[in-house]
Structure 1
Amino acid sequence: MTYRKRLLLLILLDSLFVFTAIYLSHLVLSTKYYFTPFLLISSLTLLLGHHALAAYYKLYRRVWEYASIGELVSISKIVSYAVLMTAVVQFLFYQDIYVRALVITWMLQMMFIGGSRFIWRLYRDTYLKVENQGERTLIIGAGSAGTMIARQLKNNKQSKLYPVAFIDDDCHKQQLEIMGIPVLGGVRDIEKLVIEFDIKNIVIAIPSLNKKELNKIVKESNKTSAKTQILPLIEDLVLGKVSVNDFRDVRIEDLLGREPVKLDDGNLLDKIQNQTILVTGAGGSIGSEICRQISKYKPAKVVLLGHGENSIYTIEQELLNTYNTIDFITEIADVQDKEKMFAILLKHKPSIVYHAAAHKHVPLMERNPEEAVKNNVIGTKNVAEAANYAKVNTFVMVSTDKAVNPTSVMGATKRIAEMVVQHMDTISNTRFVAVRFGNVLGSRGSVIPLFKKQIKAGGPVTVTHPDMERYFMTIPEASRLVIQAGSLARGGEIFVLDMGDPVKIVDLAKNLIELSGCSVEEIGIEFSGVRPGEKLYEELLNENEVHHKQVFPKIHIGKATAMDGEFLYRFINGLDNLPVDELRLTLLDVAHGRIREEKLVVNS
């Protein structure tokens, strides 16, 4: 039905209700004003007043299948003000107000007009929706978000889900009904209710849910065969960015770690807006996310530097499609090429350099220590010296928790790279800092993609050791930390994120298996043994390594020991002449501050 036809129908219907109400009231009371000019003037006043007020309150623009208390309030105002106007006209023309007739008229109008709207909604909800019922769905959370989702699911013909029950730990809501949907119990009742009501889908609709509570709900949901999904951000629903059909699966990052660190947007805008920013390793997991994050702060130019042309092309195209006011420049180059690094930085003269290019895979670097040295140590030294020469304002190096008391070649080379950065800060006007964080969920070469591949293949999932623990964070959060550290830099710091409690890798594997809709028994977990260079436990927040005082919420400054620059450079220049086995031992000795040549001194 077109808008004009709908409008005309509602006006005619309400006109009939108005006339019927006032004439019935006079008929019931058998008044002396029956079919008189008094009644005619009263009727016309009531009718015109009603339509004028209906236009003012936009009564005819309401979608009545979603009618609620707000619509009832509007109808009440319109009817009451129209009756009041009629009373005023009666007094002005006849010096008499027929109060009893007007009261009955008010009651009849409320019944006719309000009742017609809500009867239509009841009819649609009860009869027209039966054929559109999809998979039986349990909604976790009977608050405003859950109610909104339930309403949209019930009224959305395209929805594949149909709500049959709520779950909420608020005992005051239990055993009540919301929109005809019962609130049947708390989180502990999920497994029982899924079986009893043949639930196929579970939707978590609590935007304020913290990770601990979400873990509890997911753990209970995983005991069932129902598919578990989570509500998109409520602001995205309200703004229309996503629809009610865009529920997403619960991801492993939803269950791990702590609440994300929020950025100091005002400070970052001052540092980045209208500046030239250069990112090395811009095609990698961290580097590409750094590019996405800094682009939100409107830099004038972003230089995407990387060795892999495909990955650089991919992130360039993504950024060009998202930000049309920023100049994105690509540079295909290897950080091991010192001359090229100097040329690129002199060419672009960036204000900030985020150095994310590195080799990070522990077992691979154990077998290829010379390549770890070339990329992680020499590469960092080249970019840092080029940044100094080009008078860059701030240089931020991406480091790792494996640089703390390293047991691997990768960790040792990253620690030595930190030493290079610390030394450069003592001889340069550029502010040099490093940022450490733990394992990044979903990054290339990380455990999550491997586990997903193994689960997809039917298992088993391989875990090195039942006691293996790691700190975890998401790619966006790791990148935000790097950017925030750059804004906090005074020079020489090693920033460390308080990453909460470590997570056992075996628990991570179990969660991922269950989130994939499988059981641990079905997929299986095998322990393959600790690989060379690996630790059972990381030491990111050891008391001897980190200041307790936070320089920003959940960001600390590490207490890493600096090294004499003369020794450091002689050591780096001599690495090419060492055999592989001796190279590995030498890297670990220097990273730990153990000097192999007594004549060389290290400053603590």
Structure 2
Amino acid sequence: MGLRITLVILFDLIAVILAWGMAYSLRYNFSLPQNFPYVIAITLPWVLIVHAAAFYRFGLYRGMWRFASLPDLKRILLAVGLAALVVPPLLFMVQRLMDVPRSVLILHPLLLVLVMGGARFAYRSWKDGHLLSVSELGREPLLVLGAGSAGADLLRALHGNRTWRVVGFLDDDSSKIGRQINEAPVLGQLSDIAATAAAQGVKNVVIAMPQAAANVRRRAAELAAAAGLIVLTVPTMDDLLSGKLIISQLRRVALEDLLGREPIALDEAGLRDLLHQKTVLVTGAGGSIGAELCRQIARFSPQRLVLLDQSELSLYQMEQEFSGPQFATVKHAARYVIGDVKDAARLAEIFAEHRPHVVFHAAAYKHVPLMEAANAWQAMRNNVLGTLNAARAAMACGASEFVLISTDKAVNPTNVMGASKRLAEAVCQALQKQSQTRFVAVRFGNVLGSSGSVIPLFREQIARGGPVTVTHPEIIRYFMLIPEAVQLVLQAGLFAHRDSEGGKIFVLDMGEPVKIVDLARDMIRLSGLDEHAIKIEFTGLRPGDKLFEELLADNESTLPTPHPKLRIAKASDAPESTWLTALEAWLNATSRNEQEVKQDLATWVAEYQPQGTPPAQ
């Protein structure tokens, strides 16, 4: 028996003695009779024995005072109640209840519950910081935005925290205003944030609405930033449910928190059927999309996961990540393979060795300005010929599904990168006519956090003190979080698995487009600055840029799928085999200059409209 348990038992037995004596004192109005010591000596040992047995019976010493709660109070009530029923008949048998007033038998259990329960809850209150202490005075005041379950959980988690002291809540639910959550009041609505923060001396606010819609979190962050406050947030629901983070691990709000959307409902059973104990190969596995594909595929315990990339550093980083305990189930199933998708012989060797059931083709050159100037031919070779090589290798090894990662820039392309991805889609459609492998392409827009995203660039520019550069005040883009995009890519792969035809192009629901200049302003505000401190400069559209991106070409329409965030683009007829033969001959020709590539592209992709300086829309 540990020292702490021994001390708790001694405390409870002393409480029994004190309550027994106090009951007599109250009964006789603090004027005790002369025979009181004799009565105590006769009755108290039996009272102690009965209560000790009752305490043990109801497990009073399995709990911890630090976490005393209602179940602990219930156990005290049951133990004291049982003892209160046993003590009177026992004392009657011992000494006929002589000199034991009936009021003592009633007062004693009441006083004992107050002493035992009160001591436990006072201790917890002290440890949680409810009671005034020196450390309480030095804690930073914090205002919580959102008086829901997450806010209540955060309040409980921060009671023992040495850094933060919650002064109250703000919530737009008017029925909550004026009420309290664990003694912290709901002070007003979100629109009252500036006045409330000033009145409470608050410099930090935390958004505790992990399940709220993105526009609600965005409004809360904008109001707080406009008031000059530092905006924090709690971990996402995914992180909380997975156990990776706890709710008290606050962090600064990032742009991703404000652009996130409703969680995606995946067909987990279907994806398990597609990926579990299968060999899955991912090209471009070290890139932003490819790496996240590998992480999410790993959840379904494939028999083998082949990570193919031409970058040694990227593969090394993935190997280090997959060596951690988080990926224990796939650690020994992963294979790290270096290869270039333009090298058909190398691809044939890799596919023949591993014989993947499912292939996700994410390898591509994606940076629009780099591909537009001086690298146009390499974009064609990597994005189109690389797709053709990977697709043929998949066909040769009998792969069931081949999923091409495409882009919204493939629709009515004005740049080489977009035209190359449109050609890659057409290649898959042409191959579908001569293959049992089911080919699908998935189009989506920009993903936050990818290597080509504007977000890392804006962060770097803000850290340097500005300016933040935006190409055009009216330029808009679709944005999606990387995990969200990859989840929908996997879902599209499942639809391909269930489809007898293949050759479809899936379009992701990207939500509402966002102005790039609004992103820049949000990031400046979230950094605790304003546009007076960090200027925004407009640099003009770059070669190949459009003011807006499209997800469907003019001659296309969409069809629904079983998933609300995936639709099927009904594209023009797939090219014939003669077209594919001619395209391959062109791709295998000697190196061409930028002008020749763009001229030829206009014949290969009817929708392609090369432009020097894009006209304003």
Mark yes or no: TM-score above 0.5.
yes
Letter in 1 for 2:601: L
User: CA 1:364–1:123 in 2, change beyond 3 Å: closer, same or farther?
Assistant: closer
Assess if the C-alpha contact under 8 Å between 1:64 and 1:120 holds in 2.
Answer: yes
Shift of 1:557: 1.0
Cα drift, residue 355 of structure 1: 0.6
The residue identity in structure 2 corresponding to 1:356 is A
More off after superposition, 478-487 vs 542-551: 542-551
Query: Does structure 2 conserve the Cα–Cα contact (< 8 Å) formed by 1:257 and 1:472?
Result: no
Residue in structure 2 matching 1:135, options 140, 151, 154: 140
Task: Quickly say closer, same or farther: Cα 1:241–1:111, change in 2 above 3 A.
Answer: same
Structure 1 portions without partners, runs of 5+: 596-604
Deviates more, 1:492-501 or 1:46-55: 46-55
Q: Please give the alpha-carbon distance, in whole angstroms, between the structure 1 residues aligned to 2:239 and 2:391.
A: 41
Given residue 171 of structure 1, which amino acid in structure 2 is its aligned partner? S
Aligned pair partner of 1:494 in 500, 505, 509 = 505
- CA–CA distance in 1 between the matches of 2:608 and 2:183? 72
Deviation digits for residues 10-62 of structure 1 (CA, Å, limit 9, x no counterpart): 22222222123234434544599976999777644543343334334443454
Task: Find the aligned partners of 1:147 and 1:71 in 2 and give their Cα distance.
Answer: 21
Letter in 1 for 2:595: D
Distance 2:190 2:57 in 1: 46
Cα distance per residue 1:542-592 (max 9 Å; x no partner): 785342423323111111222223123313423537653242133244323
Write the letter of the residue equivalent to 1:220. L
- State the distance in 2 between where 1:121 and 1:153 align: 14
**In 2, Cα distance between the equivalents of 1:544 and 1:92?**
99
CA deviation after TM superposition for structure 1 residue 190, in Å: 1.2
Residue in 2 that maps onto 1:402: 409
CA contact (8 A) 2:413 2:608 kept: no
> C-alpha root-mean-square deviation of aligned residues, in Å?
2.9
Letter in 2 for 1:585: Q
AA aligned opposite 2:578: E
Indicate the SS of the match to 2:165: strand
Work out whether residues 136 and 161 of structure 1, in 8 Å CA contact, stay in contact via their aligned partners in 2.
Answer: yes
Normalising to structure 2: TM-score of the pair? Answer: 0.88
Which residue of 518, 539, 545 corresponds with 1:534?
A: 545
- Counterpart secondary structure, 1:155: coil
* Equivalent residues in 2 for 1:304-319, closer than 5 Å: 304-319=307-322
* Equivalent AA in structure 1 for residue 575 of structure 2: M
Q: 1:138 to 1:16 in 2, by over 3 A?
A: same
Name the SS of the counterpart of 2:159 in structure 1: helix
Q: Is 2:477 aligned against 1:470?
A: yes
From 415, 433, 438, the counterpart of 1:431: 438
**Match status 1:6 vs 2:9:** no
Per the alignment, residue 571 of structure 1 pairs with: 583
Q: Report SS of the residue matched to 1:518.
A: coil
Are residue 586 (structure 1) and residue 600 (structure 2) matched?
yes
Equivalent in 355, 363, 367 of residue 357 of structure 1: 363
Q: Following superposition of structure 1 onto structure 2, how do residues 35-434 of structure 1 map, counting pairs within 5 Å? A: 43-87=44-88, 89=90, 99-122=102-125, 125=129, 126-130=131-135, 133-156=138-161, 159-233=162-236, 241-243=244-246, 246-322=249-325, 323-324=327-328, 325-367=331-373, 368-434=375-441
Aligned pairs, number: 591
Q: CA deviation at 1:274?
A: 1.6
User: TM-score, length-normalised on structure 1?
Assistant: 0.90
Alpha-carbon distance change, 321 to 405 in structure 1, aligned in 2, over 3 angstroms: same
Alpha-carbon distance change, 139 to 419 in structure 1, aligned in 2, over 3 angstroms: same
Check 1:16–1:581 CA distance in 2 against 1; reply closer, same or farther (3 A cut). Answer: same
Change (3 A) 1:240 1:399: closer
Is the contact between residue 257 and residue 499 of structure 1 (CA under 8 Å) also seen in structure 2? Answer: no
The superposition leaves residues 385-418 of structure 1 with CA deviations (integer Å, 9 ceiling, x where unpaired) of: 1111111111111100111121111111101100
Taking a change above 3 Å as real, the CA distance of residues 567 and 554 of structure 1, as seen in their structure-2 partners, is same
Checking the alignment, whether the CA contact within 8 Å between 2:154 and 2:248 is kept in structure 1 is no
Q: 1:250·1:515 contact (CA, 8 Å) conserved in 2?
A: yes
- The DSSP-based 3-state class of the residue aligned with 1:523 is coil
Counterparts of 2:262 and 2:381, CA distance in 1: 37
Equivalent pair of 1:360/1:410 in contact (CA under 8 Å): yes
- 1:345 maps to amino acid: F
In the alignment, the residues of structure 2 paired with residue 165 and residue 32 of structure 1 have an alpha-carbon distance, to the nearest angstrom, of: 54
CA distance in 1, matches of 2:520, 2:109: 66
- Aligned equivalent of 2:487, options 480, 485, 499: 480
Per mean C-alpha deviation after superposition, the further-off stretch among 21-30 and 340-349 is: 21-30
Answer whether contact 2:405 2:441 (CA < 8 A) is retained: yes
Paired amino acid for 2:143: L
Q: Is the 8 A contact 1:355 1:396 kept in 2?
A: yes
Equivalent in the alignment of 2:614: none
Is the alpha carbon distance of 1:512 and 1:295 closer, same or farther for their aligned partners in structure 2, counting shifts above 3 Å? same
SS at match of 2:142: strand
Equivalent residues of 1:304, 1:316 under 8 A apart: no
User: What amino acid sits opposite 2:17 in the alignment?
Assistant: F
Per-residue CA deviation, residues 233-276 of structure 1 (Å, 9 max, x unaligned), is 46856886435652122221111152242322211111112221
What's the offset of the Cα at 1:533? 1.6
Q: Do the aligned partners of residues 546 and 93 (structure 1) sit closer, same or farther apart at CA in structure 2, a change above 3 Å counting?
A: farther
The answer on whether the counterparts of 1:257 and 1:473 sit within 8 Å (CA) in structure 2 is yes
Give distance in 2, aligned partners of 1:255 and 1:537.
Answer: 21
The change in CA–CA distance for 1:94 and 1:569 in structure 2 (over 3 A counts) is farther
Residues 88 and 502 of structure 1: is their aligned pair in 2 closer, same or farther, counting only changes over 3 Å? farther
Which residues of structure 2 form unaligned runs of 5+? 610-617
Query: Which of these residues, 509, 529, 533, is aligned with residue 518 of structure 1?
Result: 529
Query: Which whole-Å CA distance do the structure 2 matches of 1:208 and 1:311 have between them?
Result: 34
Match of 1:552 among 544, 549, 563: 563
Deviations 1:348-385 (A, max 9, x none): 11111111111111111111211111001111111111
Q: Could you tell me which amino acid in structure 2 is paired with residue 140 of structure 1?
A: L
Q: Distance in 2 between matches of 1:362 and 1:238?
A: 38
Return closer, same or farther for 1:201/1:19 CA change in 2, 3 Å cut-off: same
Taking only the aligned residue pairs, the percentage that are identical comes to: 43
Q: Which stretch has the larger CA shift, 230-239 or 529-538? A: 230-239
Q: CA deviation at 1:136?
A: 1.8
CA 1:505 to 1:53, structure 2 compared with 1: closer, same or farther past 3 Å?
farther
Q: Assess if the C-alpha contact under 8 Å between 1:351 and 1:392 holds in 2.
A: yes
Contact 2:559 2:570 in 1 (8 A): no
Secondary structure class of the residue paired with 1:421:
helix
Question: Does the 8 A contact of 1:306 with 1:334 survive in 2?
Answer: yes
Residues 211, 83 of structure 1: alpha-carbon distance in 2 compared, 3 angstrom cutoff: same
Work out the CA distance in 2 between the residues paired with 1:502 and 1:495.
Answer: 18
Q: Post-superposition shift, 1:129?
A: 4.7
Q: Secondary structure at the match of 1:365?
A: helix
Q: Which amino acid aligns with 1:19?
A: I
| Partner Cα distance (1:515, 1:279) in 2 | 36
Note the C-alpha offset of 1:171: 3.0
> 2-side partners of 1:525 and 1:114: how far apart?
61
Change (3 A) 1:184 1:455: same
Q: Tell me which amino acid in the other structure corresponds to 1:560.
A: A
User: Counterparts of 2:101 and 2:91 in 1: how far apart (Å)?
Assistant: 8
State the 1:146 CA deviation.
2.3
Q: In the alignment, which residue of structure 2 is the partner of 1:441?
A: 448
